[in-house]
Amino acid sequence: MNDFQGIAIPNFLGSLEKLSYLDLSNASFGGMIPPHLGNLSKLRHLDLLGLSSWLGYKFLDANPTRIVPCREVCDINAFKNATSLIIIGVELPGQLVGSRGPIPASIGRLSKLEMLDLSFNQMNGSIPDGIGKLANLNFLLLDNNYWEGALSQNHLQGLTKLQSFGISSSNKSLIFNMSHEWVPPFSLTEITVRNCRLGPRFPAWLSNQKQLSYIRLTNVAISETIPYWLWELSPQIFWLDLSGNWIHGVLPNSLVFSRAYLVDLSFNCLEGSLPVWPNVSHLLLANNLFSGSIPMNINQMMLSLEVLDLSELPKW
């Protein structure tokens, strides 16, 4: 979070042989992700979150006004010893070395990775099967890119330690293709899927995820009723966002959310009376088909309520 003005990440970092943690987030460096970082055999964590949008471009003649796209942003082998790799908001215009696509199949060589975060870049193409070889991965975050093709159980089958999974496609071109009988080898606590084709049914493989407390499935073309197995998780849910789908049915009034900060069911086709759920802080129900009246004693029934959104409900 400094305003360093160098046109490239300095080469001397490649000589710091004992360096294990490098955080250059929100700085103003440009140039390529330097291959000399691959000399750091003890590097375990590299954070390039929000680095200058120049990153991934090659300067000509040391003149920062003359730039051309650089296809070889970085060699994946440079991070073979890393356990945490965060590249967010960098807007990579080219490719990672070793593949025709934005994420090379050789990603599977980074066997020590425990975190992979490539969110908020300009990456596209399909997700390689090599992702499934990262057996030590706890966090896989691929939000806000332009993914295409299909994501199958083969991509996730080897991720036995996965706890947090997030993915979204800004062009809405990614399709989930999991078998209805598939039982994941991992136990998630957090899942985020946005702007992908996950529906029309709720994914059956999530019914085995008994540790979930953060669930965000928005704009994923689900068009059935909310299954019972999801409501069974209500005592442990902190965040539930199912907005922007075609979910229908009547909501149960007997749920007890023990610690929910947010429940967002807006922009669906839900009917019946308004639910009264204790311990929910933010209840967002806009653009549905609810009917009836708001309970007179809602202040006593929902003591934790801070935000209630009922906008654009039908006028009876």
User: Average pLDDT, stretch 236-259?
Assistant: 93
> How many structural domains comprise the chain?
1
pLDDT higher than 70, residue 65: no
Which phi and psi angles does 123 have, rounded to 5°?
Answer: -80, 150
- Please give the pLDDT value at position 99: 34
- Please give the pLDDT value at position 168: 96
Q: Which amino acid is at 232?
A: E
| Residue 44: inside a domain | no
Contact 77, 38 (CB under 8 A): yes
| Residue 254: inside a domain | yes
First to last CA, the chain: 53
| Residue 264: inside a domain | yes
- Please give the pLDDT value at position 265: 98
pLDDT higher than 70, residue 50: no
Residue 207 — pLDDT band, cuts 50, 70, 90?
very high
**Structural domain that includes position 232:** 223-316
- Please give the pLDDT value at position 261: 95
Residue appearing with tokens 């992979």: 116
| Residue 310: inside a domain | yes
Helix (H, G, I), strand (E, B) or coil at 296: coil
| Residue 169: inside a domain | no
| Residue 268: inside a domain | yes
What is the rounded distance in angstroms from the CA atom of residue 267 to the CA atom of residue 259? 24
User: Average pLDDT, stretch 114-123?
Assistant: 86
| Residue 43: inside a domain | no
User: Average pLDDT, stretch 260-284?
Assistant: 95
Report angle CA 65, 66, 67 to the nearest 5 degrees.
Answer: 110
| Residue 127: inside a domain | no
CATH of the domain at 234: 3.80.10.10
Which pairing describes strands 115-117 and 57-60: parallel, antiparallel, or unpaired? Answer: unpaired
